[in-house]
A and B are shown apart, each in its own frame.
Chain A
Amino acid sequence: MADLGTVALLLAVAAALYGILASVLGAARRDPTLVRSGRNAALSVTALLVIAAAVLIYSFVTHDYSVQYVAEHSSREMSLPLTIASFYSGQEGSLLYWATTLAIYTGVVIWQNWRKNVALMPYVTAILLSIETFFLLMLNFVSNPFVRLPFTAPDGLGLNPLLEDPGMLIHPPVLLGGYMSWSVPFAFALAALITGQLGTEWIRTTRKYALFSWAVLGMGNLLGMWWAYHVLGWGGYWGWDPVENAALMPWLVGTAYVHSVMIQERRGMLKVWNLALIIITFNLSIFGTFIVRSGVLSSVHSFAESSLGPYFFSFLALSLVFSLGWLFYRMPELKGEHEFESALSREASFLLNNLILLGIVFATFWGSIFPLVTEALKGVKLTVGPPFFQRVDGPLFLVLIALMGIGPLMPWRRASTRTLQRNFGIPLAVAAVATAALLAIGVRLAPADLALFLCTFVLATTAQEFVWGTSVRLRAGQNPLLAFVNLLRSNRRRYGGYVVHIGIILIAIAITGSQFYQLEKNTALQPGQTVSIGRYDLTMGQLHEAAFPGYRQVWADLSVRQSGQDVGTIDPAKQFHTNFETEPDSKVALLSTPLDDLYVVLAGWQPDGSANLFVFVNPLVMWLWVGGIVLLIGALITLWPEAEPARVPVARPVREGVRVEAI
């Protein structure tokens, strides 16, 4: 059966190469038959990859341990969902996952756009197929998931214990899907550059694709945070690990893009900049995929190390040179249609937002590769860890939050003093009152106060926008709920964006709380002893040990009192999995409340029955996940298909007006 997979992958390379050739030649010679043939080749690549993926899943489900990849990443005692998830748990499978989802997405994009974007589509197809070809070459000749063992193993090795978690079912596929999906905006941007059709067509087409990729990559990151928080057992959700940084960077550049693209839509400016952002985002996504797999930088993800480095670097170099080359070639045709009118305007604040976002990306990139730099230049491998990024990226994020409050209230083109007073008066007052209240209850750490001041300011500006929008409709006689829903429907993108902002602010508040007010104790408890931390008292019961199918577990039971009230017992544990005896896996005990999380890790134990515990109280962490859900809702509001076909662009008459004013 696995041989069918091998054959499908080989045929897919051939079909992809033919598809590239046919699409490009067909477009150049204006030969519709050839173009259609290229499209059909792309669709057959989709079919072949779906077959290959199905074969691999089938091999996993039927426990075909003659296939090396299956034998190394699963075992008979694993549950069915985890067995299927083992598909992407190793390098070969995750490359196949990338390639398959890209192939399916390519099919969807062709289906949605073939009639609408006749001129661009052959090139979009060719570019998507080129990316596909890179992954197919890897899969066929470097890292093939269908390689057979010389014998059939009786049972598989099983999954790395860290991956045996529900998080495994969702974090890797969403994150990889996020990386993969940036291929589509990139393909449209590059197709626009190649064809010279640099109008608003490609922007309008890729608007939703870019937002979709942005949302998926963001969710991938949040799910990674959630997984790290409840599995890795170091009390936090973000370790500024190179792999995490690599996933954050394309998302930040993507964030810059989904903002600055509005300036191009409204005012026809910053065309080169937007193209550059798309190119950077895509290449950072490839870089992110590669960093997980490369082992160049030491990381908690090092279970995934490999030797793919040189290939990925070559592909990255090629894609950068090719896309930036086209951008440079078309530079003269990319002049802006308008000029900036004032430093106090929506466009200028977007520009600043872009600058800060790219500043964060640069700082993160520089910090991530700095160990390599010092190793190359000085022969010492330094570490660049959390303290560095907190100090360098932290303040920049604060500026970004400030801009989230300022930007949406800035009028396009230029602001008058009166508009500014009217827009900012109430939010500033609300934020000042809230901060005073925080100071009064004892939150007296300047950076935390500043962060919370900015967060309440943004919440107030956003609320003000919703109130103003709704009250107009209320005056027209609609009932409040209907007015609110209609407001959301009237401009999904704008109000969905505001909902996303609220989600981000909730996340920022959670990060502020848990970064500045985390309590932490490292303690050894004998049976009957008690430790107090914050509003919690933990009393140690007994240490236990027992064998379960597939693993042996040691755990402690602790009874917990919260502000003097009994709230039950928790049992932090360590599990020793078969085949992975030397790497015990922590099972974190977590008691989550809206105010704070009690987070207990069993770090070790002594012969006398005492337990070594890492005990944390992490304030407000629940709001991180709530913020993530709000962000998802906002993204869905924005992405929800419009009832009527395309909205008539309203920008036109305003733009004409401006021109008259200038004359």
Chain B
Amino acid sequence: MHTLDPRALRPDFPILERRVNDRPLVYLDSAASSQKPRQVVEAMVDYYYHHHANVHRGAHTLAVEATELYEGARSRLARFLNAPGPEGVVFTRNTTEALNLIVASWGGANLGEGDEVVVSVAEHHANLVPWHFLTRRLGVRVRAVPLTPDYRLDLDALEAAIGERTRVVSTFHMSNVLGTINPLRRIADLAHAVDAVMIVDGAQGAPHLPVDVQAFDCDFYAVSGHKMLGPTGVGGLWARPEILESMPPFLGGGEMIRKVALEDSSYAGIPARFEAGTPPVAEAVGLAAAIDYLEAVGMDAVAAHDAALARYALERLEGIEGLTLYGPRGGDRGGIVTFNLEGIHPHDVASALDAEGIAIRSGHHCAQPLGATLGAGATARASFYLYTTEEEIDRLTEALVKTRDFFKAFA
């Protein structure tokens, strides 16, 4: 097991030297988007200064270099997910687009009236709303499985929900609100027992946990670059190649075709069939640099650091009178801590913390159905990453006590 020292990594992240409202920035919103190390930004600058051209077309030197860098990024992402090869990796804008691709292409071709998609109540909107399109268009039904009282997926309820109409089980690797980590292999086994496909929303999983799509035995795994030290505008979908091969195109245009006549066209093989138009080449190069950075630190070390910070934060925040915590206890959770201060709306908490230079997220975290389940429509969320220190959690704790006392004067 590697360990990591956030203080040794922080100099790679220039933004962490910023001051906000006259105080050193404490950035606790990495679950929304991570900060970027110099290595990622410099890789993108180097690409634009020395190698840029359009990919997969033209015989000139720059076009060849750009294509090699872009395809190299695909191979790196495949290796990072422990995919058997790069042909199952499609670059998308983000996890949301990857999930929409699955729903529109695979779902549109394979689902019909009364077919069921099993999800949990804790899904991000990106794993609910695209399915609702198919509900309207095709009569597909979404069935949501509850959580246990300790905020873990209720596996008995999941087993009961999966039946002969189940065609899809689609859920998160790590919850973006609760930090809950799903036992993906067990879920995939339950899905495959009824010949359903297993889709994983890896938006929080890929940045924070070791990913092994072969060990998980999932059929799809979707990621966002910007949450894993990479740039915005690039994400990825890994799909089991034999499934991807069977899927119709998602978007039409250049790059994804075999032959085009005025009235009809035929389509390229995988993964090009799913990448219409000029792709985000510089962003893919940046993502590859982010993957190199994460692999050098070690994903087991990242996961252990996140878990240690979560334990520390839960301990500190538990001591604050009037503070309610949401999410599982124990070591099997990610670096996301969600809470509410009694009688103070989370937006007001976030403004008060911002005045202290502390960035957290407040609101429904794009998981409105979960908020309804928790009985807390809006919550405050602090999320950690490899650059987060215990001292920053101490500053959060002190600022929360001050916030509570400031508003308490008016209760």
Chains A and B form a bound pair: no
Which residues of B pack against A, CB within 8 Å? none
Which residues of A pack against B, CB within 8 Å? none
